[in-house]
Amino acid sequence: MPITIDSDIRKAKTLPSSYYTNPEIFSDLRRRFANHLHFAGHQSQLDGQTAIPIQHMGELIGEPMIMTRSDRIRCISNVCTHRGMLVSSTECSAKSLKCPYHGRTFGLDGTFRSMPRFDNVSDFPSPEDNLKEFVTASWKGLIFTGVGNSSSEGNFQELRKRLEWIPIESFKNDPSRNRSYEIDANWLLYVDNYLEGFHIPYVHSDLNNTLDYDSYRTELFEGGTLQIGIASEGEPSFDLPESSPDFGLRVAAYYYWLFPGTMLNFYPWGLSVNLVIPLSVNRTKIIYHGYVGDPLMLGRGAGGNLDKVELEDQEIVEATQSGVESGSYDRGRYSPTMETGIHHFHRILTRTDD
């Protein structure tokens, strides 16, 4: 029976616990990932390279991809059109891609180039022998891709309105900030936790010292949310230009979440991207990428020690998984001031038209 979440947060109940525990609901929600564009990477990951595999697209939507740079940046299939081997497993700077199985080669745009011992094959090569190219959308060096027709234009408008002044396109990929975690919890719990700053004083003592809790704010938009952390006295904040809608505020962090599992966290030092990858009903992978704009701001303020904050969150989320699996819990209620982001997420999840 379809669940609805009341649009009035004061009346609404949170998601039933089956959303976090039932494998069929998990699979239904998981299928919806294919309807959305997902973060592929930042253009600086291709500095000095012509091709990098994007492992996580295989895990997210079942399409292993390669991000390539030639006349432009593309996301193409990493699946060889001969017998399905993965073409690329590491980054490379070659002018073509060669399948390690039987040596079929492709251009960086995915077009078939050559294949040994195929001289007498009829109707070969054909367009079907090219690596498939996927739709991409980019904004200030951030590349998004996917298999569906979904547009990310709405999300870009939100980002543009706020952050057009940040030179994100000149940020540099910092592989030392890459992380990959697997946790014993449903992906929805990880997202729920991300979408509220309510828990900060209870769970993140150090982070709490850097933020002015009473000034924390959440904004909602179609397909996502923005949380703005305001710096406490003496803590680092963005140097906002007059063109920023937040000019005059001491913003320590912009936390963007884009449905279903992309998190773009902007700090004065740069951008930390978290990707939430559902593995099973009670197992989730979280991938971090870091792109640095101002190295002098690293290690300070709200974005200063992300590893500690992450582990604090994981502990809570895993414990909550065992809670929602118990027979004594089904649904809770929302704080009308502190949990608007989660309410918005749950409304999107329970919509039937997506």
Binding site for ligand FES (CB under 6 A): 80, 82-83, 85, 99, 101-104
Shortest distance, position 194 Cβ to Fe ion, whole Å = 7
Tokens (6 digits) for 17: 């616990």
Inter-residue contact 47 to 172 (CB < 8 Å): yes
Residue nearest Fe ion (C-beta atom): 313
Q: Are strands 112-114 and 283-292 parallel, antiparallel or unpaired?
A: unpaired
Rule CB under 5 A: say whether 196 interacts with Fe ion: no
Closer Cβ to ligand FES, 101 or 247, answer by number: 101
Closer Cβ to ligand FES, 88 or 152, answer by number: 88
Tokens (6 digits) for 253: 């962090």
Bond prior to 260 in cis (omega within 30° of 0) = yes
Tokens (6 digits) for 99: 């399948």
* C-alpha angle 146-148-150 in degrees, rounded to nearest 5: 95
Q: Can you tell me which of 281, 313, 317, 340 binds Fe ion, judged by CB under 5 A?
A: 313
Residue 85 binds which of Fe ion, ligand FES, none (CB < 5-8 A, kind-dependent): ligand FES
Kindly tell me the number of DSSP H helices and DSSP E strands found in the chain.
9, 17
Binding part of the chain for Fe ion, among 123-131, 282-290, 306-314, 325-333 by CB under 5 A, reads 306-314
Shortest distance, position 80 Cβ to ligand FES, whole Å = 3
Query: What binding mask, one character per residue, do residues 49-88 give for Fe ion by CB under 5 A, x or -?
Result: ----------------------------------------
Residue 313 binds which of ligand FES, Fe ion, none (CB < 5-8 A, kind-dependent): Fe ion
Sign, Cα dihedral of 117, 121, 126, 130: negative
Closer Cβ to Fe ion, 81 or 265, answer by number: 265
Binding part of the chain for Fe ion, among 73-81, 289-297, 312-320, 344-352 by CB under 5 A, reads 312-320
Q: CA 254 → CA 17, 96, 263, 264, distances in Å?
A: 30, 39, 10, 8
Question: For residues 348 and 342, what is the distance between their CA atoms, to the nearest angstrom?
Answer: 10
Q: Which residues bind Fe ion (CB under 5 A)?
A: 313
